Structure 1
Amino acid sequence: MKKTVLIAFLLLFQFSFSKTITETQKLAATCKIWGFLKYYHPNVADGSKNWDEQLFQILPKVEEAKTSESFSLVIENWIGSLGEIKKGKAIKS
């Protein structure tokens, strides 16, 4: 479920931007993704990563991105570097 939400979240941002992307759009999207991952990515939510430092490491790469495609690639690589999301067990009701 979380993986599906994450993929949908990324696709939403990828298709919502035009070819060029402003600094404000990049920063707003980065902050939203950073906040989402802080609570919902299992490898981040467990507290094993210095999440504030991760933001400062990704910001120069975000700033270098000039198009929405290059921005999406930066974000995709960042999320991929956080580690694989293991499939959870189904909850029986």
Structure 2
Amino acid sequence: MKYIVLISFFMASALSAQLSKFSDRDLYEIGKVWGLIKYYHPAISQEKADWDAVLLETLRNNPKSGPDGIIKNWLNTADQNKFDEITKKRQRM
């Protein structure tokens, strides 16, 4: 009986490992771009959009377009959000 439980556990873990949605390289690229947009895009850094929710939604839905399509979609989404004008600091002499 113990062997049946162990075998079924190993089979379930092996099948779930094969069903991963993204490769490690894809996750690396997606994570780097997500962080860059989150902290440096004006609309997102001013918290005009919930960028954490965008990441989770993307990972849940698993688009077929791959990392390049995900990044293009994110940039389009970020550019559609309005942001406050960025004022330049004046240098005093």
TM-score bin, normalised by smaller chain? 0.5 to 0.7
1:55 aligned to 2:55? Answer: yes
Matched with 1:43 is 43
- Secondary structure in structure 1 of the residue aligned to 2:43: helix
Q: What is the deviation of 1:71?
A: 2.6
- Secondary structure in structure 2 of the residue aligned to 1:83: helix
What are structure 1's unaligned runs of at least 5 residues?
1-21
Aligned length: 68
CA distance in 1, matches of 2:29, 2:40: 16
Matched with 1:75 is 71
Larger RCO of the pair (alpha carbons < 8 Å, separation 6+): 1
TM-align CA RMSD? 2.9
Between structure 1 and structure 2, the one with the greater Rg is: 2
Find runs of 4+ consecutive structure 1 residues off by over 4 angstroms: 88-93
What are structure 2's unaligned runs of at least 5 residues?
1-21
